[in-house]
Amino acid sequence: MIKPIKVTITGAAGHIGYALAFRVASGEMFGPDQPVILRLLEIPQALSSLNGVGMELEDCALPLLHDIVLTDDPGIGFRETDYAILIGAKARGKGMERKDLISDNAKIFSAQGKAINDHASGDVRVLVVGNPANTNALIAAANAPDLENKQFTAMTRLDHNRALGQLANKTNKLVADITRMTIWGNHSMTQYPDISNCRIGGASALELVTRDWAIDHFIPRIQRRGGEIIEARGLSSAASAADAVVDHVRDWALGTPDGDWVSMSVRSDGSYGVSEDVVFSFPVTCKAGEYEIVQGLELDDLSQARLKASEKELLEERAIIQELL
Ligand code: NAD
Ligand code: LMR
């Protein structure tokens, strides 16, 4: 029998967690033959709701779901886990920026970094979703001294997918025809969605759209999309966020397609001149649980200025939570 993969989801009774747990348990993350054990971690006040999620998972009779653990104890939630998906945190409301959440959320990630260090598998892979995701990933990694920075990532896959969707709409092509999209920087208004390397069915994206459309419409639309969803729903994105979690972890674990890459926020190694002190979104290729930053892409002056602006914002966020590192 194939050994089950243990997956911890924090905030599993919340909007994203509820949309995610069933997809992981049905095999969308690790494939149709790979059993999973779900460890769902919540705060004590949400345990009743979490029990309901557990009952619904049982009622699906999913053949790949070998066990479900429901807990408010991080020591149990992260025990020997292979993948830790850190969603549990406050979400922003209308009129807020994601960095306004730092004071409420940062401490969650120092505590969970320690718990992952002490209880998870030594080979654990961590994805931080709770905002501000990049800085929270920095905090979690810093509090897990026995683990390597490369085991901690933050999610910019939702921005990447949003960018694919908008570009497909504009060019009247299929998302599946587009490769080499890149989101650079922070999961925030300073992110840089970059189509300059995109290929669409054999052509360069820049042959199919104008530079003015990219600068005046596409980039700000992706930067503001989270806020646009909050305006419309009164709540932040949930199903699309869960979908991006599935994509991020699946590609990290199983690999990216040949000739393409994805966007992941990872600890900078100095590539493209980005400070090594931040978790920054880069184009990456993945294979068997390891990622590599794509090297050698050309960045014009405007692009470099955009990367610098996002780096500056991340360094400012870092200064605010310095005592947690
Ligand atoms: P939600 O309020 O619906 O759910 C959050 C859940 O987390 C709640 O059930 C809460 O009880 C739980 N929680 C809080 N503190 C916890 C802790 N210490 N341990 C375990 N669980 C805890 O929120 P949501 O819509 O699911 O969003 C969750 C987070 O994800 C927010 O910070 C949101 O901004 C962020 N988010 C990020 C992205 C991204 O692309 N990176 C996308 C969407 C949302
Ligand atoms: C998103 O991009 O949808 C999330 O980060 C939620 C938010 O606050 O915008």
pLDDT at 75: 98
On whether the CB atoms of residues 218 and 299 are closer than 8 A, the answer is no
Q: 77 alpha carbon to ligand 2 midpoint, in Å?
A: 25
Query: Nearest residue CA, atom 3 of ligand 2?
Result: 226
> Which sequence spans correspond to the domains of the chain?
5-154, 157-324
Active-site option among 15, 160, 187, 248: 187
Q: Dig out the tokens for 8 from the structure.
A: 């911890």
Tell me whether residue 187 is one of the annotated catalytic residues: yes
pLDDT at 276: 98
Query: Nearest residue CA, atom 4 of ligand 2?
Result: 226
Burial of 323 (0-12, 13-18, 19+ CB in 10 A): exposed
What ligand 1 atom has the least distance to the C-alpha of 244? 40
**CATH hierarchy code of domain 157-324:** 3.90.110.10
Query: How far apart are the C-alpha atoms of 155 and 280, rounded to whole Å?
Result: 10
Query: How far apart are the C-alpha atoms of 216 and 218, rounded to whole Å?
Result: 6
Dihedral angle sign, alpha carbons of residues 180, 185, 187, 192:
negative
What ligand 2 atom has the least distance to the C-alpha of 240? 3
Question: Whose CA is closest to 119, among 37, 18, 39?
Answer: 39
Query: Nearest residue CA, atom 1 of ligand 2?
Result: 226
Question: What's the pTM?
Answer: 0.98
Ligand 1 pocket mutation, candidates 92, 129, 187, 317, criterion most atoms within 8 A of CB? 129
pLDDT at 149: 98
On whether the CB atoms of residues 177 and 168 are closer than 8 A, the answer is yes
Per-residue pLDDT of the chain (325 residues; tens, 9 = 90+): 899 999 999 999 999 999 999 999 999 999 999 999 999 999 999 999 999 999 999 999 999 999 999 999 999 999 999 999 999 999 888 888 888 889 889 999 999 999 999 999 999 999 999 999 999 999 999 999 999 999 999 999 999 999 999 999 999 999 999 999 999 999 999 999 999 999 998 899 999 999 999 999 999 999 999 999 999 999 999 999 999 999 999 999 999 999 999 999 999 999 999 999 999 999 999 999 999 999 999 999 999 999 999 999 999 999 999 999 9
CATH superfamily, domain 5-154, is NAD(P)-binding Rossmann-like Domain (3.40.50.720)
